[in-house]
Amino acid sequence: MKIGIITLPFNINYGGILQNFALQKVLKEMGHEVSTIEEEKKNYKLPVPKRYLAYTKRIVLRYLFRKKCEIFLEKKELNRLQIISTNLQQFIKRNIILKTYPTFKHIKENEFDVFIVGSDQIWRPKYFTGIENAFLDFAQKWNIRRIAYAPSFGTDKWEYSKQQTQRCRKLISLFNGISIREKEGIDLCNKYFSKTAQHVLDPTLLLSKDDYMEIISTDNAQKSKGNLLVYILDQSPEKEKVINRIIETKKLVPFTVNNPNVFNYKLDINQRIQPSIEQWLRGFYDAEFVITDSFHACVFSIIFQKPFLVYGNIQRGLSRFTSLLSTFHLENRMILNANELYKALEQEINWTEIMKILETKQKESLNFLSKHLA
């Protein structure tokens, strides 16, 4: 069958790109013709958590301190984004089939047999503009199959307006199969949409470590310059304290797999380029320990069987972490402040048990896809 996947725009999100790669790969191996659908990028927008902070900072600099700076700098950022994401775009071109349209309304009814919505936080209104299209609003009158595979609300709090809730409840009633990435999301789906959903794995967890090692080998990614992988999306003094304590306790050498200067507009554009997907993955292979506040960094720590700690990212939503960790009985891998660090470091990880759980959940998740694509 011809399948169209609708997910979050890629931008510079490693996990977002890899979850789509994984879902495409799984569906292709099932024998389907798969494309990911995207709308043309008109203006680049900062991620919501960074957007308002950036605007406020620029307003203060411009009007209070009389500094020359543009408030809405993102209007010029789209071209720069292409440079920043050069390495990521190369991976996308080699590994992901894309179909780009001016808008979702330009898709024709007979182009696809099935639409799959997911994964990542595509069902979070502040992350997906025009949330109704994440429920296939543009195709509501079409005779096609509709499947939700592992979309995420991103939080256990309801963020939809009353109008959005009513509209999306009507649209989701047309779906043939509904699954959710987080356990809390199942409750939200039932409470606000009156629909029963199945809990499934993020697509990245449907592939094996060997699948990702194959990606690393094709690019000859360089060995990482350390053995403590530090992948922190939102820096803070408290997190820096945790990182330093891990370095001292475990006698490890820290390294990163992303460019911390990516949003530093004062730097030359070439200093803001993100490392490749292959190099990002190589970081997990090389690491002896991982400290992160990223959902997908937790995922790849599990895939590569690396001891890890996650600093709970409340702003980005804790339910993603709690659901993932509870699935694998790894709740003790999350800390919310530096005082919890030493107790967490004492906990051992039973990788044999975790791999058994992963195998069971993979079968359940793949069976969901097979059942609704049959």
Residues 6+ away with beta carbon under 8 Å from 165: 158, 192, 193
Top pLDDT among 217 and 59 is at: 217
Tokens of 331: 């709740």
- Could you tell me what percent of the chain has a pLDDT over 70? 90
Whole-structure pTM value? 0.90
Using the predicted structure, report yes or no on whether residue 230 has a pLDDT greater than 60. yes
pLDDT at 21 over 50: yes
Q: What is the mean pLDDT of residues 112-121?
A: 96
The CA–CA distances, whole Å, from 21 to 105, 304, 332 equal 24, 18, 30
308-367: pLDDT as tens digits: 999 997 767 789 999 999 999 999 999 999 999 999 999 999 999 999 999 999 999 999
Which pLDDT does position 71 carry in this prediction? Answer: 45
Q: Do you find a cis peptide bond into 119, omega within 30 degrees of 0? A: yes
* Model confidence at 41: pLDDT above 80: no
Q: What is the mean pLDDT of residues 14-37?
A: 98
Residues of the chain with CATH 3.40.50.10160: 2-44+78-205+362-373
The confidence score (pLDDT) of residue 61 equals 54
CATH number for the domain formed by residue range(s) 2-44+78-205+362-373: 3.40.50.10160
Going by pLDDT thresholds of 50, 70 and 90, the confidence category of residue 6 is: very high
Tens-place pLDDT, residues 65-90? 555 555 445 556 667 788 889 999 99
For residue 50, pLDDT over 90 is answered with no
Q: What pLDDT is attached to residue 56?
A: 61
How confident is the model over 183-190, as a mean pLDDT?
96
- The confidence band for 267, taking pLDDT boundaries of 50, 70 and 90, is confident
Between 12 and 35, residue with greater pLDDT: 35
Query: What is the per-residue DSSP string for 70-131?
Result: -S-GGGGHHHHHHHHTHHHHHHHHHH--EEEESSGGGS-GGG-SEEEE-SBSTT-TTTSSSG
**Is residue 236 pLDDT above 70, yes or no?**
yes
What average pLDDT does range 12-24 have in this prediction? 96
Residue 270's pLDDT is 85
Query: What is the pLDDT confidence band of residue 220, given thresholds at 50, 70 and 90?
Result: confident
Average pLDDT of 140-164?
A: 96
Q: What's the mean pLDDT when you consider all of the chain?
A: 91
As a whole number, mean pLDDT of residues 263-270 equals 81
Q: Are 216 and 281 in contact (CB under 8 A)?
A: yes
The pLDDT score that the predictor gives to residue 171 is 98
What is the structure's pLDDT at 79?
73
Q: What is residue 173's predicted lDDT score, i.e. its pLDDT?
A: 98
Other CB atoms within 10 Å distance of the CB of residue 72: 11
Instruction: Please tell me the CATH code under which domain 207-359 is placed.
Output: 3.40.50
Q: pLDDT for 286-313, tens place per residue?
A: 999 999 999 999 999 999 999 999 999 7
308-311 and 289-292 as β-strands: parallel, antiparallel, unpaired? parallel
Strand order in the sheet with 334-335: 254-255, 228-231, 289-292, 308-311, 334-335
The three-point CA angle 258-264-266 to 5° equals: 140
**Residues found in the chain:** 374
